[in-house]
Chains A and B, each alone.
Chain A
Amino acid sequence: QVQLVQSGAEVKKPGASVKVSCKASGYTFTGYYMHWVRQAPGQGLEWMGRINPNSGGTNYAQKFQGRVTMTRDTSISTAYMELSRLRSDDTAVYYCARSGLYCSGGSCLDIWGQGTMVTVSS
Chain B
Amino acid sequence: SYVLTQPPSVSVAPGQTARITCGGNNIGSKSVHWYQQKPGQAPVLVVYDDSDRPSGIPERFSGSNSGNTATLTISRVEAGDEADYYCQVWDSSSDHPGVVFGGGTKLTVL
- Please list the residues of chain A having a beta carbon within 8 angstroms of any beta carbon in chain B: 35, 37, 44-47, 49-50, 59-62, 65, 95, 97, 100, 102-105, 107-110, 112-115
- The reply to whether B42 and A107 contact each other, CB–CB distance below 8 Å, is no
Binds A, one of B18-26, B73-81, B96-104: B96-104
- Please list the residues of chain B having a beta carbon within 8 angstroms of any beta carbon in chain A: 1, 31, 33, 35, 37, 42-45, 48-49, 54, 86, 88-90, 95-104
CB distance from B15 to the nearest CB of A (A): 29
CB distance from A101 to the nearest CB of B (A): 11
- The reply to whether A109 and B45 contact each other, CB–CB distance below 8 Å, is yes
CB-based A-B contact count at 8 angstroms? 75
| Residues in B neighbouring A110, C-beta threshold 8 A | 45, 48, 54
Given contacts A47-B101, A102-B48, A103-B49, contact A108 B43 (CB under 8 A): no
- The reply to whether B49 and A62 contact each other, CB–CB distance below 8 Å, is no
A75 to B31, CA, bound (A): 34
Q: Which of A47, A60, A65, A114 has the most CB of B within 10 A?
A: A47
B45 partner, pick from A37, A50, A108, beta carbons under 8 A: A108
- The reply to whether A104 and B45 contact each other, CB–CB distance below 8 Å, is no
